[in-house]
Amino acid sequence: MKDNNAKYVLLGLLSHNPMTGYDIKKSVATRMSYFWDLSYGQIYPTLKDLEKNKLITKKVEQNEKGQNRKVYTITDAGTKELQEWLAKPARKEVHKYEFLLKLIFGDQADFELNLKHIEEFKARNQRILQTMKLFEENVKPILNQSEAHFYVLLTVLLGKSISKASVEWAEDALKLLREHSGGEVKT
């Protein structure tokens, strides 16, 4: 079967709780929003594949409402495969800062445009920072409830640090840019 990260995200999440594809999507979009993303286009085919390979099992919930929720549970083989993957070194981080691509060619644009890109970056990071602070506050009181929460906290703290550093950089950059393009100091 395909050996991409999506596979291990699903196994990892299912190692905590049985879930549906829909649940997984929401989990990733919250817990992991800072550093990972998955679309349904990856989730559903991967679930099918994992089931075929007996790393997870499916139980169709025929509940009162007649909905067909498909709840997946990790198997022992799945847990083993997850742990093997965890033991391998991680690849280096991949970043795509489209705004830096625009900023690095800032000599081809005008001043206000460059300011705008930085301001938008700052705003994005302020939103992330707030979200991370919120997550932190939510997780801290329940740290003792599960070992897993501690590791969520660690990832949240990195998101917090980086978004904070990004906002601070943006403030400095705006200042530098204004000095650079604008008023020369009187002499």
Partner DNA sequence: AAAGCCATGTAACCAGTTACATGATTCT
Partner DNA sequence: AGAATCATGTAACTGGTTACATGGCTTT
Applying CB under 7 A, does 187 fall inside the site for DNA?
no
Binding mask 90-129 for DNA (x = CB under 7 A): ------x---------------------------------
Residue from 11, 14, 21, 56 binding DNA (CB under 7 A): 21
CA–CA distances in Å: residue 18 to residues 27, 57, 60, 69, 160: 12, 10, 12, 12, 29
Applying CB under 7 A, does 42 fall inside the site for DNA?
yes
Residue from 17, 30, 62, 68 binding DNA (CB under 7 A): 68
Applying CB under 8 A, does 35 fall inside the site for a second copy?
yes
Q: How many CB atoms lie within 10 A of CB 40?
A: 11
Residues in the chain, total: 187
Binding mask 45-84 for a second copy (x = CB under 8 A): ----------------------------------x--xx-
Nearest to 122, CA basis, from 176, 157, 159, 172? 172
Query: What tokens were used for 54?
Result: 């007996």
Positive or negative torsion for Cα 8, 12, 17, 22: negative
Could you tell me if 21 and 6 are in contact, meaning their C-beta atoms sit under 8 angstroms apart? no
Query: What tokens were used for 16?
Result: 């905590």
Burial class of residue 104, CB neighbours in 10 A (0-12, 13-18, 19+): exposed
Applying CB under 8 A, does 44 fall inside the site for a second copy?
no
Binding mask 162-181 for a second copy (x = CB under 8 A): x-xxx-xx--xx--xx--x-
Applying CB under 7 A, does 23 fall inside the site for DNA?
yes
Residue from 11, 13, 28, 38 binding DNA (CB under 7 A): 38
Site residues (vs DNA, CB under 7 A): 2-6, 20-23, 26, 37-42, 44-45, 47-48, 65-70, 96
